[in-house]
Amino acid sequence: MAFETITVDTSDDITVITLNRPDALNALNQQLLQELCQALEEADGSDQTRCIIVTGSEKAFAAGADITEMADKSYVDMVGQAYFQAQSERITAIRKPVIAAVAGYALGGGCELAMMCDFIIAADTAKFGQPEINLGVIPGMGGTQRLAHAVGKAKAMDMNLTGRFMDAEEALASGLVSRVVPAKKLMDEARGAAAKIAAKSLLASMAVKDTVNRSFEVSLAEGLNYERRTFYGLFATQDQKEGMAAFQEKREAQFRDK
Ligand code: HXC
């Protein structure tokens, strides 16, 4: 299917999904989120793709959920449609690693989308915020939850209560993003990180994603148990044999996802 609100480019083993509603600063409407979910799921199911990058434009990763689309909705509409719930669940169900490459505004649902990815690489132009308070609402896709996990209560409260934006430097210092690079180098940096990930065993990469995410859901003891079981399970893979043999033979491992 041809997408209208995103572009998708797969080269080598990396799929780059670019949000593309420039006139609305990539505001997330139903169509965009539907297309994004479909593209993510296709990449997740593809034999070629080993890592996914979600990005936007120089000016905006995404300036939030589409306010025009939301403005006239009633409570019953929102509950009845379970507004963006299914899409959020589909995005976070992707099993392959997903990197958010963020330049410009990542606000509201845009910040939440970036936080649904596995980690965020930011351009020095990035601005993160949860300005929903200015609209008389609160975040609805993780802006009070994932942001609090990422940056702690003080900054999550500050951002959500004042609606102020956090620049890239503050986002790095706060743990919201893993790296900050000059805007011109953003995609090179993201592709470099994706290529590193793509060279690993996908079975192990998916296990990392699954177990780190589990740490946000369960107690430490449960999480450690889950990690240990997953670690043991990887000894059933050829990639574990290959990885450890390659180390002993002082050569690069050739992982085959088996
Ligand atoms: C719809 C949007 C939009 C949005 C920007 N636009 N953000 N349209 N929904 N979230 C549109 C503008 O209306 C405008 O269209 C065009 O994009 C350019 O935006 P400007 O405001 O002219 O640009 P600028 O002056 O540079 O300001 C940039 C900005 C501002 C600071 C990002 O646009 C802004 O504050 N946007 C809203 C941010 C926000 O409140 N996000 C949270 C949404 S609620 P026209 O046609 O006039 O040119 C949310 C809840 C998620 O995300 C919960 C989900 C369950």
Task: Quick: pLDDT tens for 95-134.
Answer: 999 999 999 999 999 999 999 999 999 999 999 999 999 9
pLDDT above 80 (res 23) = yes
pLDDT tens-digit series, residues 183-205: 999 999 999 999 999 999 999 99
What's the mean pLDDT in 6-25?
A: 97
Pocket test for ligand 1, best of 20, 67, 130 (most atoms within 8 A of CB): 67
Q: Are 190 and 178 in contact (CB under 8 A)?
A: no
Q: Which of 109, 110, 129, 140 is catalytic?
A: 109
What's the mean pLDDT in 82-86?
A: 93
Task: Tell me, in angstroms, the distance from the centre of ligand 1 to residue 68's CA.
Answer: 9
pLDDT at 105: 98
N- to C-terminal Cα separation, the chain: 31
H helices of the chain, in order, are 30-45, 67-70, 75-81, 85-92, 109-116, 146-162, 168-174, 186-198, 202-214, 220-233, 238-248
pLDDT above 70 (res 178) = yes
pLDDT at 246: 98
pLDDT at 1: 65
pLDDT at 203: 97
Q: Is the CB of 115 under 6 A from ligand 1?
A: no
- The rounded mean pLDDT for the chain is 97
Q: Are 99 and 52 in contact (CB under 8 A)?
A: yes
Pocket test for ligand 1, best of 19, 25, 147 (most atoms within 8 A of CB): 25
Atom number, ligand 1, closest to the C-alpha of residue 109: 52
- How far apart are the C-alpha atoms of 91 and 20, rounded to whole Å? 18
Number of neighbours of residue 45 by Cβ within 10 angstroms: 11
What's the mean pLDDT in 20-38?
A: 98
Atom number, ligand 1, closest to the C-alpha of residue 130: 42
pLDDT at 174: 98
Q: ipTM greater than 0.95, yes or no?
A: yes
Q: Which residues 6+ apart lie within 8 Å of 82 measured at CB?
A: none
126 is catalytic: no
pLDDT above 90 (res 241) = yes
Closest CA to 19 of 59, 68, 71, 67: 59
Q: Is the CB of 111 under 6 A from ligand 1?
A: no
pLDDT band at 68 (very low <50, low <70, confident <90, very high): very high
Q: Please indicate, yes or no, whether the overall pTM of this predicted structure exceeds 0.90.
A: yes
